[in-house]
């Protein structure tokens, strides 16, 4: 494991659930026990040292659970991605920025708070702050949405290898559109969560892995990796060790893999001193 995880490696998509912050509208016992302390055990086991905390959908725009964990970790090793209301003010975003938030989450699938109509306004606010927007949608629809995304004024981070809800060949219009978006120069992709959509399954998730490899070949300098811990609502997720090993299969070159784990997220999220968040 240690040879696959270099110093400074970043896990770019982690959700914190804490029974101290019950999920709205649910009994307290339905809040997963996926606390920051539990994730720190994952870090110790894997050697991952930096993390991006992504607001969980179940908490809506109440970011307190994520922000509490972010404050405990500190800005030297952690960043946050928030969910906000469509009419969020610049003052609110300034406050989130001061706490280490650097992006707005758009979960554009059932269960998400924001929709496509909110993207233009909030992306302008994000651009003013040097933030990005993080987008999760059904990748099969990207051909229809590519013009919207291409016109946004801030960097874009695409979740989970494009999140093709039914795995597709590399010739699919949605995947071709994703490759074209990468040509914009400030679009990033998370190489993460193949298990969520794969039909071929363990051990190599071959139907999604072919997409991950193609993306990493196309723009290795704008790929980042994530565990998607604690793999919410997924009954039998792979271990973090399995997911790190998958990255090694997708990106056999050690130097490229180090960039994906360390250098790329440092540029995107601004971990290193003097590094701008808005990386191109």
CA distance 259 to 112: 31
Report which of 16, 26, 29, 25 is spatially closest to residue 55, judged by C-alpha positions.
16
- List Cβ<8 Å contacts ≥24 apart for 98-103: 99/67, 99/70, 99/71, 100/70, 100/71, 100/75, 101/63, 101/67, 101/70, 101/131, 102/130, 102/131, 102/132, 102/269, 102/270, 102/277, 103/79, 103/131, 103/132, 103/133, 103/134, 103/157
Confidence band of 92 (pLDDT split at 50, 70, 90): very high
Average of pLDDT values for 139-144? 98
> What confidence tier does 86 reach under pLDDT thresholds 50, 70, 90?
very high
More confident position, 122 or 30: 122
pTM attached to this predicted model: 0.94
Residue 154 in this model has a pLDDT that exceeds 70: yes
Task: Give residue 176's pLDDT band: very low, low, confident or very high (50, 70, 90).
Answer: very high
- Residue 62 pLDDT: 97
Pairing assessment for the beta strands 132-136 and 101-107 based on DSSP bridges: parallel
Query: Can you point out the beta strands (E) in 8-86?
Result: 10-14, 50-54, 78-82
The yes-or-no verdict on residue 226 having pLDDT over 60 is yes
Output the pLDDT for position 26.
85
> Domain-by-domain residue ranges, the chain?
2-269
Q: How far apart are CA 12 and CA 50, in angstroms?
A: 8
Report the pLDDT averaged over residues 83-92.
Answer: 98
The overall average pLDDT reported for the chain is: 94
Structure confidence at residue 274 (pLDDT) = 37
Higher pLDDT, 152 or 1: 152
2-269 homologous superfamily: Metal-dependent hydrolases (3.20.20.140)
């Amino acid at each position: 494991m240690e040879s696959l995880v270099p110093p400074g490696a970043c896990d770019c998509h982690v959700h914190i659930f804490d029974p101290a912050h019950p999920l709205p509208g649910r009994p307290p016992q339905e809040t997963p026990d996926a606390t920051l302390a539990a994730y720190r055990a994952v870090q110790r086991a894997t050697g991952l040292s930096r993390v991006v905390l992504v607001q969980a959908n179940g908490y809506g725009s109440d970011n307190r659970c994520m922000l509490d964990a972010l404050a405990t970790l500190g800005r030297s090793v952690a960043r946050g991605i928030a969910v906000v209301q469509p009419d969020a003010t610049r003052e609110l975003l300034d406050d989130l920025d001061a706490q280490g938030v650097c992006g707005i989450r758009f979960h554009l699938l059932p269960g998400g708070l924001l929709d496509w109509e909110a993207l233009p306004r909030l992306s302008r606010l994000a651009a003013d702050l040097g933030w990005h927007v993080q987008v999760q949608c059904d990748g099969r629809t990207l051909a229809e949405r590519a013009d919207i995304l291409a016109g946004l004024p801030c960097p874009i981070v695409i979740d989970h290898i494009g999140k093709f809800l039914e795995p597709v060949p590399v010739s699919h219009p949605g995947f071709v559109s994703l490759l074209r978006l990468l040509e914009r120069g400030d679009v990033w992709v998370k190489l993460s969560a193949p298990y969520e959509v794969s039909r071929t399954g363990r051990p190599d998730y071959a139907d999604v892995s072919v997409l991950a490899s193609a993306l990493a070949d196309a723009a290795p300098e704008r790929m980042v990796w994530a565990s998607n811990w604690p793999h919410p609502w997924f009954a039998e997720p792979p271990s973090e060790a399995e997911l790190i090993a998958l990255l090694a299969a997708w990106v056999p070159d050690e130097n490229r893999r180090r960039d994906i784990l360390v250098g790329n997220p440092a540029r995107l999220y601004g971990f290193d001193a003097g590094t701008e968040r808005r990386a191109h």
